[in-house]
Structure 1
């Protein structure tokens, strides 16, 4: 049955009635190419307003990952002392481990017409404020991680001071976040081909005269620790999209093939992330902290160098527009009644000072710290919402999900929040960053197992609690 625009106090669909919080509804795109501003927020998208096919999920998840953030992440494996082949195995493994949950969660959008954080209300109830706030803050952090390279590329391309390049980058991505769902999908379709060509050119130049690291500098247990940390960093990139997953499938019709949605998302995320991180691994000797300068030098300057810098800036624009869009939905999920376009612009504005902070000192250390720290909460979140989803599906005995009915079920909020906090707490000793190395990570020679620990603890704590309240 079509989902109502209305929502109850828990944020899930309620009976048809005027929405007391109009900021959560609003104008929706009507068809592919409708680039007018989407003011629609976290309210469910009715079935009669859905459109598009699963193929658009490949491009929307491919283009935003062709950024220098991914390239720079690839260089980390070499910086930790691994050889090229070993670091590549770690990158592929970590990327796939992170992409699978994201692809699975993305199939929920067409079934519900609802974004990922709003859907988390089913599991968390009023406690969704905590993951909602973390997701909003994470979207701002990702603005900084990616805007750092995009702003640097613009500054280098046009001879601007760094702060001006970042300011222009943030303004452009904020504008796209304001336009919303269809504008982002359409941009990613175009940029999939343009950025793939640009990074192919960069790859060819890398293969010409730049050689990968054939032997590592770490051995034994230290090598194993560096492998796990490299794998975890790659995993964190792919898994960081999990709280966004259904945001970009919520306008797809309910009848859309879920296997095709899953594979299009998985291939989009994994192929793009592996490609750019491999590029970073190969060119680690020339791609230093000053990535824009490194790209320009690598391409020989001139028109080709300018083309490469423009590609870096456009890639950052593609990715950060999605951060601002999902950040706006997360902020509304916490109960703040800002119109979605205003919330998207706010996320872009707050990312600006964080970029300047990252650029002001040891960029490599601050980059790695922020990259890991913004994602430690996600594995627990994924475990909790997945368990809740499966339990609800079994209770429905194969019937289509009805958010109006699900929203009337009175379930406690504390099991999800308890498991969420327990997962993060258990993960702390296993964290390995420049800011903090837990005792377990130190004993494991720097190996960061925090993501896996958080997922397993959330699963083991939440599952029995959720089964106790399955009615």
Structure 2
């Protein structure tokens, strides 16, 4: 008699065996399209216009910035099916099991911070079409998102698939409405250029995409291990790129056409209703759904990162109850934070993204350099899952030093409401810190690792009960299922 799958997912920071793998590249396109298909994406497209950049130049800046940033998250996508692990626990290879706590903590804060903004956006959208019961809406939306995250990936995948069709139709209608209601032709014909604003818009779009990088493998790890890495990367790239650019362009157009200080979410509603057919109210309803679903993803990934960090100090067994308790506790904290923050907190979204993005940029540089250039995906899954780090140790000095160098190098280029570095000030406030951090962390890690003999480590990888050699070598090596049998024996 075939055993039924449990309703609540038990996997969190641990390895997903081949017997539990499922899904296709196509479903990943829909999944990642929905990740950026929320109204908070509008705010990223309004950065350039707020600094005097015209529409055509804003579109160019955000397209180029999105391409640059999306490449990094797409490269992370291929790691999922190959390694079968969530994204951030893979960092133990470069940073050590305990050294990885710093980027893990940053990712946890980013994800739960995103949850606050998403709940606020959903509540604001719902208030626009009903009555003002923001506090109640915050609690209900947060609770539903927690339930979805607790049930887990299979439910999230199904819900995202259905919602993607609804959201796509809504975006098409909003685009038609924008072409009819807004003076798009005039804005494109009289498009002012400002170098500082162009750089700021480029950086905002790139950082927005890089901020998603730490969660990509959380979901691609469920694909069968033979899934093409290039296909997965293309799916992630195409899905998030399309929705990000689409909504950012809409946000830019609304920001230019609307009076200074206008709420972009309200501007979407007003534009839709001006077009007719109740499109504005319908868009607000769709926004509630998309924000709620994406919020559940932030609870899911945030809890995975939190448990990955905790497991480095105390061996934990991944169970459905552990996931549920962690997500529930996170939900309580996030909803409480949402209730305590002012209703106009959404205005701080870009500052929040920039500050925490600084902590993620050196990590993605180190992680990708190691995976694609240094170790080339040759890892021992068995040792990564050991709380003491196994052959990778508790503290990875090379990764930590490279991370620190990249972060320090970015400081003069920081540009936020709290602090602006001297170089950023000289550039008129343009934020190009992400490019500096990526180059310094990646370069320093590569140079330091060139002097390191990895032959003994690779021998240990080959001897590990669970490793990545089957796919990397392209040989008739043990498949993940056979490796699992070896490990259990």
TM-score for the superposition, normalised by structure 2: 0.82
1:305 Cα deviation after fit: 3.1
Q: 1:103 to 1:332 in 2, by over 3 A?
A: same
Bigger mean CA offset, 193-202 vs 335-344: 335-344
Query: Do structure 1's residue 293 and structure 2's residue 275 form an aligned pair?
Result: no
Residue 440 of structure 2: which of 457, 460, 463 is its match?
457
> What pairs up with 1:212-291 in 2 under 5 angstroms?
212=184, 213-214=187-188, 223-284=194-255, 285-286=257-258, 289-291=262-264
User: Following the alignment from structure 1 to structure 2, what is the Cα–Cα distance between the partners of residues 451 and 156?
Assistant: 36
Alignment of 1:378 with 2:360, yes or no, is yes
Superposed CA deviations along residues 193-235 of structure 1, whole A, max 9, x for unmatched, are 100111222222222121243477976xxx1111111111111
Match of 1:100 in 2: 71
1:46 is displaced (CA, Å) by: 1.2
SS in 2 for 1:387: helix
In the alignment, structure 1 residue 191 sits paired with structure 2 residue 163: yes
Report the alpha carbon displacement of residue 345 of structure 1 after superposing the two structures with TM: 2.8
- Which consecutive residues of structure 1, in runs of 5 or more, have no partner in the other structure? 1-28
Residues 1:35 and 1:210: Cα distance change in structure 2 (over 3 Å): farther
Alignment of structure 1 residues 70-469 onto 2, 5 Å: 70-125=41-96, 126-212=98-184, 213-214=187-188, 223-284=194-255, 285-286=257-258, 289-300=262-273, 303-335=278-310, 339-356=322-339, 359-361=342-344, 363-364=346-347, 366-390=348-372, 393-394=375-376, 401-404=379-382, 408-410=390-392, 413-469=396-452
Structure 2 residue matching 1:418: 3-state secondary structure: helix
Where does the alignment leave 5 or more consecutive residues of structure 2 unmatched?
455-489
Residues 458, 157 of structure 1: alpha-carbon distance in 2 compared, 3 angstrom cutoff: same
Q: RMSD in angstroms over aligned alpha carbons?
A: 2.4
SS at match of 1:375: helix
Q: What secondary structure, in the 3-state scheme, does the structure 2 residue paired with 1:120 have?
A: helix
Q: 1:22: which partner in 2?
A: none
Alpha-carbon distance, 1:391 to partner? 5.0
Count of matched residue positions in the alignment of Structure 1 and Structure 2 = 432
8 A Cα contact 2:106 2:360, kept in partner: no
Q: Shift of residue 136 of structure 1?
A: 0.5
Partner deviation per Cα, 1:402-430 (whole Å, 9 max, x = no partner): 42367642455122112112211211110
TM-score with structure 1 setting the length: 0.85
1:294 & 1:44 partners in 2: Cα distance? Answer: 45
* Distance of 1:341 and 1:469 partners within structure 2: 42
- Of 223-232 and 66-75, deviating more is 66-75
CA contact (8 A) 1:39 1:341 kept: no
Q: 46, 51, 61: which one pairs with 2:32?
A: 61
- Name the counterpart of 2:460: none
Secondary structure at 2:7 match in 1: coil
C-alpha deviation, 1:66, in angstroms: 1.1
Question: CA–CA distance in 1 between the matches of 2:417 and 2:451?
Answer: 41
Comparing 77-86 and 457-466, the one that deviates more: 457-466
Shift of 1:148: 2.2
Q: Is the CA contact (8 Å cut-off) linking 1:383 and 1:458 kept in structure 2?
A: yes
Does the residue aligned with 1:38 lie in a helix, a strand or coil? Answer: coil
Shift of 1:253: 1.0
Instruction: Please give the per-residue CA displacement for 1:109-144, whole angstroms capped at 9, x wherever unaligned.
Output: 101110001111111112011111111011011112
1:362 CA displacement: 6.5
- Cα 1:470–1:156 shift into 2, 3 Å: farther
Change (3 A) 1:87 1:35: farther
